[in-house]
């Protein structure tokens, strides 16, 4: 089983927090069962800071499936909702479109953003579009095991820097090739078996 906590989010924001981590190369993610269906959600509000301002998303979730009880990587699908860009013009409602981009999370603490050819994550609102390309490798966070037995879950604390992005529009200006994006957040991953019963998952070094 694996973690699914965050990467610009790979692609960005809290999905990043949900999937960024700093673990050793020998670390593994474990589940009580081989076929594990997991889901994660952020605690509080995640942030993604770029030159035009700071993006806050009230809802950030990830989902994925593992087919072995022990794994070194997992592919997760992030979803970000109810997002706002706080800029010099005030608060602007924005929509985050993952455009079929996913994240591969590995046990060495890396989050790899993957997107179909020609697609990127976009954050769009009135007069502002921020584009976060795939193909990025990001890390920065820690894991904490919580609960016991079949209630075990994994909490991820993310603090990601160096996120690449570009932006354009009359409310956010323009910039390209920028690599100073940061994302922070905390998320919890829980898991079930194929029958919907909760199963324990944990991170082990």
Instruction: Note whether residue 78 is domain-resident.
Output: yes
- How many domains does the chain divide into? 1
Supply the pTM of this predicted model. 0.85
Question: Is 97 within a domain?
Answer: yes
Residue 5 lies in a domain: no
Strand, helix or coil for residue 98: coil
Mean pLDDT of all residues belonging to the chain: 83
CB 199 within 8 A of CB 39: no
Q: Are 129 and 169 in contact (CB under 8 A)?
A: yes
Answer yes or no: is 47 within a domain.
yes
Domain hosting residue 109, numbered range: 14-204
- Stretch 33-43: mean pLDDT: 90
Position 155 scores a pLDDT of 87
Q: Closest by alpha carbon to 76, among 122, 44, 36, 22?
A: 36
In a domain, 41, yes or no: yes
Position 4 in a domain: no
| 179-199 pLDDT, tens digit each | 999 988 888 989 999 999 999
Query: Is it the case that residue 8 has pLDDT exceeding 50?
Result: no
What is the pLDDT, as a whole number, of residue 5?
32
* 171 burial type by CB count under 10 A (0-12 exposed, 13-18 middle, 19+ buried): middle
Nearest by Cα to 178 from 131, 127, 122 = 131
Distance in angstroms between the alpha carbons of the first and the last residue of the chain? 14
Quick: pLDDT tens for 57-89. Answer: 888 888 999 999 998 888 889 899 999 999 988
């Amino acid at each position: 089983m694996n973690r699914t906590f965050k990467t610009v989010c790979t692609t960005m924001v809290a999905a990043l927090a949900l999937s960024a981590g700093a673990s050793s190369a020998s670390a593994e993610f474990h589940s009580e069962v081989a076929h594990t269906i997991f889901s994660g959600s952020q605690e509080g509000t995640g942030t993604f800071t770029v030159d035009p301002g700071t993006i806050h998303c009230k809802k950030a979730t990830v989902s994925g499936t593992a087919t072995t009880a022990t794994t070194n990587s997992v592919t997760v699908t992030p979803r970000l909702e109810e997002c706002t860009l706080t800029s010099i013009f005030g608060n602007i409602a924005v929509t985050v479109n993952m455009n079929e981009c996913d994240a591969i999370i590995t046990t060495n603490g890396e989050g790899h953003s993957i997107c179909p050819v020609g697609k990127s994550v976009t954050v769009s609102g009135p007069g502002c579009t921020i584009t976060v390309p795939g193909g990025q490798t990001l890390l920065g966070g820690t894991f904490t095991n919580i609960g016991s037995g079949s209630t075990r879950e994994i909490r991820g604390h993310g603090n990601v820097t160096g996120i690449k992005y570009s932006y354009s529009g009359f409310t956010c200006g323009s910039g390209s090739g920028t690599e100073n994006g940061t994302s922070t957040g905390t998320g919890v991953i829980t898991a079930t078996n194929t029958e919907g019963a909760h199963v324990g998952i944990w991170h082990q070094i």
